[in-house]
A and B are shown apart, each in its own frame.
Chain A
Amino acid sequence: MREQLIHLSLREQAGLIQRKEVSPVNLIEETLARIERLDPRLNSYITVSAESAREDARRAEQEIAAGRNRGPLHGIPVSIKDLFATHGVRTTCGSKVLADWVPDFDATAVARLREAGAVLVGKTNMHEFAYGVTNDNPFYGPARNPWDLERVPGGSSGGSGAAVAASLCAASLGSDTGGSIRIPSAVCGVVGLKPTYGRVSRFGAIPLSWTLDHVGPLARSVEDVALLLGVLAGPDPNDATCSSRPVPDYRKALTGEVRGVRLGLPVEYFFTNVDAEILVAVQVAVKTLESLGAEVHPVSLSHLANCAAMEAHITLAEATSYHEPYMKTRIDDYGAGVRVDLEAGRYLLATDYVKSQRARTLLQEEFAKAWGKVDVIVSPTLPALPPVIGELYVQSGELREHVIDAFLRFNIPFNLTGLPAISVPCGFSQAGLPIGMQIAGRPFGEETILRVAHAFEAHTDWNRQRPVL
């Protein structure tokens, strides 16, 4: 019974709390006990804020008893990637540079979760400064994949993916510059949403690349992610790029109906050099959606081959610009891999950076043409399965490539265009490793991608599988 409660989705836990069948205090105690038991092996948290979580849970319990219900997140245990400023709780960004930073403010996304009554159980492990995809952190140790403790949980929000998959929280707040929400979601077997650029405030999230960074949720179901997005989205005077568009009730989009929805299958780029097991899982998933009434259309997208170069110029230049003050005084406190990336950012050309930014306009035009023919674009989230911790190369079908190149490849087009994209579990490899399918949509088209992802999830049980720990 105890195990069952902790594995329920956020929405299911919320239902029990609202019907007063479970108290927030009990749920938090269960969560903290599980963290204490399992996290020494998973290393998914950098900081566990046990005492403040207990206090918040007690407050939630009193409020609910008094009839002041704040909604479905009230009393729910949520973790926060350690890149978001949290008032009174150490925020390291997975670094030695910020190892002792205790913010006196909350990031906007964190503040919104608190206002909705979520109980923040701790700060999750991450790749140093979000600058990588493996979460092999030189200062706090590697976070581990709950499906195979020898393998990476992806990154940079790797601790978040591992914690959600292992039921060490109901959901987590992540960030995504080149796939950092979707990558750990895919390899840990959970759902992760990178919303449209401007849909969720970036204020208080330590930047990696201002023009590529996105903030979004990871959870165990599409409905949970929709609930969380409804809380997180909306304008913010502290983030000039944040949109003032009204925030819809995303749950209303979860009709289970995809009849007539046009699925675009890219004929270039997204299905080339992909692990055979991943390819089969995504093809079967597309067939499932087709059997539910969706229409499948080939779609052509040009210029995607330039995405890697565009990402490199933009990320390196912007990251180095942000880190320059620390580099002057704390350069020896960076891990070796991140240090080289930051150094390299000084030696790329300004013209290449500007060209990369201009090329994003071209890429957006390419996708805009596609939206005339299809409603969503479907692809594998990743071309390769997660490597063993420390292994730098993966096998993507015929291509042996660096794990960064592999894991960014299908994700970065949607950071460069700012388009919303979700990763949903769609199968397992023979070795028992989760596989993710990516569904991307129009600007501010979160309702459509959530609808398609939810319909798929409702007719499969991949998201209900749990790692044995």
Chain B
Amino acid sequence: MTPDAALTPSIHRHRQKPITRRSLLQGAGGAASLSALLAASVLAQEPQLREAIRQMSVMTESGLSERWLEPTTGLVGVILDYSKTLRALELGEREPATFFQAR
């Protein structure tokens, strides 16, 4: 079966843009923001986190190269940082649903 494509786009060259969502460490100028406040603690923990992820990449068999280690560490660090209040949340006996359902 062939695609019915009157206009076939060209595939652009893979653009290596090592900037990710929540990349708070880059370009966050301006007024004191949540981003800037978070960035400090992320920076502080980054060396240990980078090492932990390097070691875990063996366990996950993902073979994370140095090139991708840096931005991956940055993103994981930010998410962990703003997960602190989530971890502190008291949920009592609440369970996750086997299938999520709106209710």
Contact = CB atoms under 8 A, between A and B. Distances in A.
A48 B8 CA distance: 8
Interface residues of A, number: 76
B44 interface: no
A337 B21 contact: yes
B27 to A, nearest CB: 6
B96 A306 contact: no
B62 A404 contact: no
Given A341-B75, A343-B68, A327 B62 contact: yes
B5 A90 contact: yes
Given A51-B6, A335-B14, A344 B86 contact: no
Given A102-B1, A336-B15, A339-B68, A418 B100 contact: yes
A358 B18 CA distance: 33
Given A336-B18, A341-B20, A344-B75, A354 B96 contact: yes
Contact of B97 (A140, A359, A361): A361
B12 A138 contact: yes
A346 interface: yes
Nearest to A398: B31
A340 B102 contact: no
Contacts, number: 203
Interface string B18-37: 11111110111111011100
Contacts of A348: 76, 79-80
B102 A404 contact: no
A392 B99 CA distance: 35
A132 interface: yes
Given A139-B11, A402-B22, A308 B102 contact: no
A454 interface: no
User: How many residues of B sit at the interface, in one of the four size bands?
Assistant: 35 or more
Contacts of A360: 96, 100
A51 B21 contact: no
Interface string A296-335: 0000000101101110110010000000000100001101
Nearest to A92: B9
B18 to A, nearest CB: 6
A88 interface: yes
A400 B29 contact: yes
Given A96-B11, A336-B18, A417-B102, A400 B5 contact: no
Contacts of B94: 358-359, 361-362
Given A241-B101, A336-B18, A400-B30, A49 B53 contact: no
A29 interface: no
A41 interface: no
A23 interface: no
A47 B83 contact: no
Nearest to B49: A347
Given A316-B79, A340-B71, A402-B24, A418 B101 contact: yes
Interface in B32-64: 33-35, 52-53, 56-57, 60, 62, 64
Given A347-B56, A358-B94, A309 B85 contact: yes
Contacts of A405: 21-22, 35
B86 to A, nearest CB: 4
Contact of A404 (B7, B22, B100): B22
Nearest to B52: A347
B7 A45 contact: yes
Contacts of B97: 357, 361
17 contacts: A47-B8, A88-B3, A104-B1, A138-B12, A198-B102, A241-B99, A305-B85, A309-B79, A337-B17, A340-B20, A340-B72, A346-B62, A357-B96, A359-B91, A360-B96, A402-B23, A405-B21
Interface of A: 45-52, 88-90, 96, 99, 102, 104, 132, 138-141, 196-198, 211, 240-241, 303, 305-306, 308-310, 312-313, 316, 327, 332-333, 335-337, 339-341, 343-344, 346-348, 352, 354-362, 364, 368, 392-393, 395, 398-402, 404-405, 417-419, 443-444
Top 4 nearest A-B pairs by Cβ distance? A418-B102, A90-B3, A357-B96, A50-B6
Interface of B: 1-9, 11-12, 14-24, 26-31, 33-35, 52-53, 56-57, 60, 62, 64, 68, 71-72, 75-76, 79-80, 82-83, 85-87, 89, 91, 94-97, 99-103
Given A400-B33, A444-B102, 8 more contacts: A47-B4, A102-B1, A310-B86, A313-B86, A340-B20, A343-B64, A418-B100, A418-B102
